[in-house]
A and B are shown apart, each in its own frame.
Chain A
Amino acid sequence: MTGAEIMVRCLMDEGVELVFGYPGGAVLNIYDAIFKQDGFKHILVRHEQAAVHAADGYARSTGKVGVALVTSGPGLTNAVTGIATAYMDSIPLVIISGQVSTPAIGQDAFQEVDAVGITRPCVKHNFLVKDVKNLALTLKKAFYIASTGRPGPVLVDIPKDVTAHLAVYAYPETVTMRSYSAVSKGHSGQIKKAAQMLLDAERPMIYSGGGVILSNASRQLVELVRLLNHPCTNTLMGLGAYPATDRQFVGMLGMHGTYEANMAMQHCDVLLAVGARFDDRVIGSTEHFARESRRIIHIDIDPSSIAKRVKVDVPIVGDVAAVLDEMIKLIKAGQGGKNAVALAAWWTQIEAWRARDCLKFDRESAVIKPQYVVEQLWNVTQGDAYVTTDVGQHQMWAAQFYKFDQPRRWITSGGLGTMGFGLPAALGVQLAHPGKQVACVTGESSIQMCIQELSTCLQYHAPIKVVNLNNRYMGMVRQWQEFFYGNRYAESYMDSLPDFVKLAEAYGHVGMKIEHPGDVEGALREAFALKDRLVFMDFITDQTENVFPMVPNGAGISEMILAEEL
C-alpha cells in the first residue's frame, strides 16, 4: 500500500467517522486515497481553522477523538489557532498535516513550514513521519496519546513523498511506550484521608471542572455531591457535569460566577477540587484566596496541575472517575454526620448569599436584554440543546443563563478564548448528533471571524440555530473600557456591519432580525420548528448591558462588582 492508503486505512481501523479538512498540494495523494474509500466521511470546510474547531466540537460533544486534515504551509498555520484552542481545553484531536517531500525539507520549498516546530508549544505531542514504515505505528501512537491521560491534540506531519512510498499495512491493536503511561487509579491512602475530611467538613465546597467531563465522571460527581449534601459549583469548562437545575448547584464560579459560588469558595473550610486547575479566571488573586484558611483536596490526572497556583493539602493524582468511585465507597461506609448542625448553618449562609439574586436583570426593558434571549433559548429548547459559543459577553451570559443538566452539551473555548470557535464547533456537534438541537450563541463581532462556514453548513445540511446577540460592540472589550479605561471605547465599536439576514440568505439559509423583547420567544420557536434549515437569528440587543457579577482582573474572588452597585 502507499503511505496515503495506509493513512486512510489507519483512520478506518481507528473507527473514525468524520474527517474535517481542506486539500492542497502536499496532501493530494491522501485526498486521492480518500476519494477511493467509503469508511469515513470527509467534510470540506472553508478555512483550516474551522476544520480543527469542527473536529474539536465533534470531540467535545462525543468524547471521541476528532480528526482534521490540512495541507502544508498556510494550511497548517491556519490550523494553529484551532490546535491551541484544543490544547488549552485538553481536547483529544489528531491533526494530520501534509509536508513538502523529505528531500525538500529545509530548502524553503513552496508551502513549506516547520509544522513540528510551530505547533510544539500547543500540542500534547507531535510527530514528523520520515519513513513510510513508521506511519501506521505513529498514527496509533497519536490516537493513544491524544485520548489517554490528560487528553490533548496530537499533530502528525507527513511529507508528500512518504504518502507515495510503499509499505506493508499493519495497524497495531495496542501500543505501549516506555516514556508515556497514563495513570488511572489514585493513591488509596490519600483517597481515604480525603473522604474523612469531607465527612468532617463544616463548611464544605465542591469545585468541579472540565476534567470531570473529560473523564466521563458526571454520574460519580452527582452521586458524591448528593451523598454528602455539599454545595457544588462548576467552572466554565465543567458546566453540565453537575445539573444546573439542582438545589445543591450554586452556579458557575469565577470572574463572572455567581455571588453564592464565589463567596462559598472563599469561606469554605474544606474544598474538594475535581478536574479543575485554579486558573486566574476562576479564583482571581491567589494572595487574596489564601487569606482565608481552608484545607484543599485536589483530584487531577495531571500532576503538574496540582500545587501549580495554590497549595494543596491532599493531592490525588488519578483519573477522576476512578478516584470518585473509590471515594464514594468509602463515604458510604464512613462515619459522618456529626457536623450536621454546622452543615445546616452553612447551607443557611449559602441561601442568604443566593438570595442576593446576583443574576437579576431588567425584565421591563423596551430593548432586548441579551440575558433574556439566552433564558428563552433554554426555555424553547427545554434545556436539551447543544450550545456552542464564541468568546465575550454572550459567552458569559450563555454560561450563566442556559442551565445545563447534562455533560458534553456546553461547547466553548475556555482556556484560549478563541473568537470564531462557535460556528465551526456547532458544525462538528451537529454532524456528530444529527437530529439534535444545536445552537450557536454568538455576537456580531465573533461570528464574523469564521462566518465563511455558513457555506459548509449548507453543503452538509447542518440545521444549526445561530443566536446572534448583536449589540454592535465587542461587548466584553467595551465593558472593560467602561470600567477600567474611563469610557474610552477604543476600536470596540463594530461599524459597517453586514445585514445578517441578507447574508444568511445569500448563503442559502434563513435569516431573521428580532428587535423587540416581545418577539424573542416566538422567533426562537419559529427557528427551531425549521428542523432542516440553518436559521440565523440577529437579535438587536441593549448596547449598554454588562456582565455581572464581575471580579475585576487581579482582585479576589469574593471582591465582586454586582449590578445593583453601579
Chain B
Amino acid sequence: MRHIISLLMENESGALSRVAGLFSARGYNIESLTVAPTEDATLSRMTIVTSGSEEVIEQIVKQLNKLIDVVKVLDLSEGSHIERELMLVKVRAFGKDREEMKRMADIFRGNIIDVTERTYTIEVTGPGSKLDAFIEAIDPVAILETVRTGASGIGRGERILKL
C-alpha cells in the first residue's frame, strides 16, 4: 500500500543521505522524496512517498526514528491529510495547439508562466493523480519536457508535526 511519511530532521549536511541510504540499504521503495528547511532553520522537513506491506511500513517508520539526525516521524496516511505536488510542463504551442493548450491549462487551473512563439510552460499544482490526469489529457507529442517536485503533505486540522 502507498504511504506518505513526513519527518523532521536536523538540517545538517549528510542527513538526507542517511535517509536515502537507509531506503536503498534495506530495499525499501521510494516513489518520491522532497526536502527543504522549515521556518526553524535548524530543521528540515522531508516528505517520502513509499509503498509496502503494513509490516514493511512499520519497519520503515521504526528505522527512520532510529536515525540519529531524525527528530520526529509521522505516517500521514494513518489519518486524514492533504497532499500537493507541483509540476512544470513545457509544451509545443503553435498553430491549433496554442488555443488548445491554453484551454487545457485553464481547465486544470494551471498557470502559463513562460511563453515563447512556439512554447508554453504550464504550472499545475494538485495531488499526484491530478497531475497524471493533466498529462493524460494533453497530446503526448506536444509535451517537450516535464518536471515534478514529488508530493508534500500535511495533516488536516489539529494534526500537527512540530517539535
Which residues of A come within 8 Å of B, CB atoms? 116-117, 120-121, 124-125, 128, 145, 177-180, 302-304, 307-308
Interface 0/1 of B55-85, CB less than 8 Å to A = 1001100110110111100000000000000
Instruction: Find out whether the CB atom of B17 lies under 8 angstroms from the CB atom of A307.
Output: no
Instruction: Find out whether the CB atom of A304 lies under 8 angstroms from the CB atom of B68.
Output: no
B21 within 8 A of A: yes
Instruction: Find out whether the CB atom of A179 lies under 8 angstroms from the CB atom of B66.
Output: no
Q: Which residue of A lies closest to B13 (CB)?
A: A128
Instruction: Write out the residue numbers on chain A whose beta carbons fall within 8 Å of the beta carbon of B59.
Output: 304, 308
Q: Which residue of A lies closest to B60 (CB)?
A: A304
Q: How far is the CA of A137 from the CA of B9 in the complex (A)?
A: 19
Q: Which of these, A120, A179, A302, A304, contacts B10 with CB under 8 Å?
A: A179
Q: Quick one: which of B9, B13, B14, B63 has the most chain A CB within 10 A?
A: B14
Given contacts A121-B25, A179-B69, A303-B62, list 19 more A-B pairs with CB under 8 A. Answer: A117-B17, A120-B14, A120-B18, A121-B21, A128-B14, A178-B71, A178-B163, A179-B9, A179-B10, A179-B68, A179-B70, A179-B71, A180-B68, A302-B66, A304-B59, A304-B62, A304-B66, A307-B55, A307-B58
Instruction: Write out the residue numbers on chain A whose beta carbons fall within 8 Å of the beta carbon of B21.
Output: 120-121
Instruction: Write out the residue numbers on chain B whose beta carbons fall within 8 Å of the beta carbon of A145.
Output: 68
Q: Which residue of A lies closest to B55 (CB)?
A: A307
Smallest CB–CB gap between B61 and chain A, Å? 9
Q: Which residue of B lies closest to A127 (CB)?
A: B14
Q: Which residue of A lies closest to B14 (CB)?
A: A116
Instruction: Find out whether the CB atom of B68 lies under 8 angstroms from the CB atom of A124.
Output: yes
Q: How far is the CA of A313 from the CA of B21 in the complex (A)?
A: 31
Smallest CB–CB gap between A110 and chain B, Å? 23
Q: How far is the CA of A179 from the CA of B68 in the complex (A)?
A: 6
Which residues of B come within 8 Å of A, CB atoms? 9-10, 13-14, 17-18, 21, 25, 55, 58-59, 62-63, 65-66, 68-71, 163
Instruction: Write out the residue numbers on chain A whose beta carbons fall within 8 Å of the beta carbon of B62.
Output: 303-304
Instruction: Write out the residue numbers on chain A whose beta carbons fall within 8 Å of the beta carbon of B17.
Output: 117, 120
Instruction: Write out the residue numbers on chain A whose beta carbons fall within 8 Å of the beta carbon of B68.
Output: 124-125, 145, 177, 179-180
What would be 8 A-B contacts, judged by CB atoms less than 8 Å apart?
A120-B18, A121-B21, A128-B14, A179-B9, A179-B68, A302-B66, A304-B66, A307-B58
Instruction: Write out the residue numbers on chain B whose beta carbons fall within 8 Å of the beta carbon of A304.
Output: 59, 62-63, 65-66
Q: How far is the CA of A179 from the CA of B163 in the complex (A)?
A: 10
Smallest CB–CB gap between B12 and chain A, Å? 9
Instruction: Find out whether the CB atom of A303 lies under 8 angstroms from the CB atom of B14.
Output: no
Instruction: Write out the residue numbers on chain A whose beta carbons fall within 8 Å of the beta carbon of B9.
Output: 179
Q: How far is the CA of A480 from the CA of B143 in the complex (A)?
A: 58
Instruction: Write out the residue numbers on chain A whose beta carbons fall within 8 Å of the beta carbon of B55.
Output: 307
Q: How far is the CA of A97 from the CA of B23 in the complex (A)?
A: 26
Q: Which residue of B lies closest to A306 (CB)?
A: B62
Smallest CB–CB gap between A91 and chain B, Å? 17
Q: How far is the CA of A543 from the CA of B153 in the complex (A)?
A: 63
Q: Which residue of B lies closest to A145 (CB)?
A: B68
Q: How far is the CA of A125 from the CA of B22 in the complex (A)?
A: 13
Instruction: Write out the residue numbers on chain A whose beta carbons fall within 8 Å of the beta carbon of B70.
Output: 179
Instruction: Write out the residue numbers on chain B whose beta carbons fall within 8 Å of the beta carbon of A128.
Output: 13-14
Instruction: Find out whether the CB atom of B163 lies under 8 angstroms from the CB atom of A303.
Output: no
Q: How far is the CA of A308 from the CA of B58 in the complex (A)?
A: 9
Smallest CB–CB gap between A420 and chain B, Å? 24
Smallest CB–CB gap between A344 and chain B, Å? 38
Instruction: Write out the residue numbers on chain B whose beta carbons fall within 8 Å of the beta carbon of A179.
Output: 9-10, 68-71
Smallest CB–CB gap between B98 and chain A, Å? 47
Smallest CB–CB gap between A508 and chain B, Å? 44
Q: Quick one: which of B55, B66, B71, B163 has the most chain A CB within 10 A?
A: B66
Smallest CB–CB gap between A229 and chain B, Å? 35
Instruction: Write out the residue numbers on chain A whose beta carbons fall within 8 Å of the beta carbon of B65.
Output: 303-304
Smallest CB–CB gap between B159 and chain A, Å? 21
Instruction: Write out the residue numbers on chain B whose beta carbons fall within 8 Å of the beta carbon of A125.
Output: 68
Q: How far is the CA of A180 from the CA of B18 in the complex (A)?
A: 15
Q: Which residue of A lies closest to B65 (CB)?
A: A303
Instruction: Write out the residue numbers on chain B whose beta carbons fall within 8 Å of the beta carbon of A177.
Output: 68
Q: How far is the CA of A125 from the CA of B65 in the complex (A)?
A: 13
Smallest CB–CB gap between B53 and chain A, Å? 12
Smallest CB–CB gap between B11 and chain A, Å? 11
Smallest CB–CB gap between B102 and chain A, Å? 47
Q: How far is the CA of A124 from the CA of B71 in the complex (A)?
A: 15
Instruction: Write out the residue numbers on chain B whose beta carbons fall within 8 Å of the beta carbon of A117.
Output: 17
Q: How far is the CA of A539 from the CA of B150 in the complex (A)?
A: 63
Sorted nearest first, the 10 A-B pairs with minimum C-beta distance are: A304-B62, A125-B68, A179-B71, A303-B62, A121-B25, A180-B68, A304-B63, A120-B21, A304-B66, A179-B10
Q: How far is the CA of A302 from the CA of B66 in the complex (A)?
A: 8
Q: How far is the CA of A307 from the CA of B62 in the complex (A)?
A: 11
Q: Which residue of A lies closest to B9 (CB)?
A: A179
Q: Which residue of A lies closest to B15 (CB)?
A: A179
Smallest CB–CB gap between B76 and chain A, Å? 20
